[in-house]
A = this chain, B = another copy of it.
Amino acid sequence: MIDRLIEGIKKKKAPIVVGLDPMLNYIPEHIKKAAFEEYDETLEGAAEAVFAYNKAIVDATYDLIPAVKPQIAMYEQFGIPGLAAYKRTVDYCHNKGLVVIGDIKRGDIGSTSAAYAVGHLGKVMVGTTIHTPFDEDFATVNPYLGSDGVNPFVDVCRENDRGIFVLVKTSNPSSGEFQDQKIDGRPLYELVAEKVNEWGSEIVGNYGYSDVGCVIGATYPEMGKTLRKLMPKTYILVPGYGAQGGKGADLIHYFNEDGLGAIVNSSRGIIAAYKQEKYASFGDEGFADASRKAVEDMLLDINGALGA
């Protein structure tokens, strides 16, 4: 699956992913009004607003981008109807030819991790019938429980040609509380990085990258530089661009010399672009066009920094 992602990145000259993390307060009033008129102010109404918002943004940007990253928490907060909107979003993006990275940050042990893995990236058997419940292409995984938690995902990736991004160094201010703690002089995130190499060593694709990628926040560029060297075959999913403070120039060391190796996510900066002063002229009705313009600007920033 990493090969398909790389091909999309190369074809569209776009090492970026749009984070579909819809908060209700990002969604323009006219979208919410239409959804609530149909479903009232129910969880179904919220879910309908979320899907309509996503759909408009995807329709306005899919030709520019290789992938989307829906953040499942933003759907899960609306219960079962919200999760149904997540699944509709995954399917809609697939129909538009996009790679879908499910930002689910799951992680448990043994058969429990396997259940998450098959539910999101694989197949489950019911009697003698096979189902693919959520059917994302990639999922993000939390490594705190160790190999017992990650290996079931790796097995499912191998069997179904899917991929994962394991959290190594996250973009938030307090990520250092545990991740930066020194073990024999080296931070914990480097130990996790070494395990990422190990977990991914047997599922490497045609471009030399593994289906086991990692997450490193844009907000820690020096650590990104070190980690890039430590995991040469690992694709890095980079959150924290834009709204969280990361800039294109900070991110050049997340890439390898082949111009590959990283994919930068922006969520709020794209999907709620119309709320920024910079894109205010699009107005509420033009929110999706504002998102398209924000994608174009992000590409200029990042490709400019890369000299691509």
* Partner-B contacts on A (CB < 8 A): 21, 23-24, 32, 36, 40-43, 45-46, 71, 73-74, 76-80, 82-84, 87, 105-113, 115-116, 118-120, 124-129, 131, 133-134, 142-149, 167, 170-179, 181-184, 188, 191-192, 195
Contacts and interface: CB of A to CB of B under 8 A. Distances in A.
A42 B167 CA distance: 33
B145 A143 contact: no
A266 to B, nearest CB: 15
Given A46-B124, A105-B107, A144 B143 contact: yes
Given A36-B127, A109-B170, A188-B188, 13 more contacts: A24-B126, A36-B126, A42-B126, A73-B108, A73-B113, A74-B115, A78-B133, A82-B133, A142-B144, A143-B178, A146-B177, A149-B172, A178-B191
Contact of A145 (B41, B83, B84, B167): B167
Contacts of A171: 109
A112 B147 contact: no
Contacts of A179: 144, 146
A116 B36 contact: no
Contacts of A129: 40-42
A242 to B, nearest CB: 15
**Cβ-closest 10 pairs across A and B:** A79-B133, A146-B174, A41-B127, A77-B119, A146-B177, A41-B129, A109-B172, A77-B115, A73-B115, A148-B172
B172 A73 contact: no
Contacts of A184: 182
A178 B147 CA distance: 10
Contacts of A113: 73
Contact of A76 (B73, B74, B116, B142): B116
Contact of A133 (B24, B77, B115): B77
A118 B73 CA distance: 10
A38 B163 CA distance: 36
A178 B146 contact: yes
Contact of A45 (B84, B127, B191): B127
A117 to B, nearest CB: 9
A9 to B, nearest CB: 25
A115 B145 contact: no
Contacts of A125: 24
B178 A124 contact: no
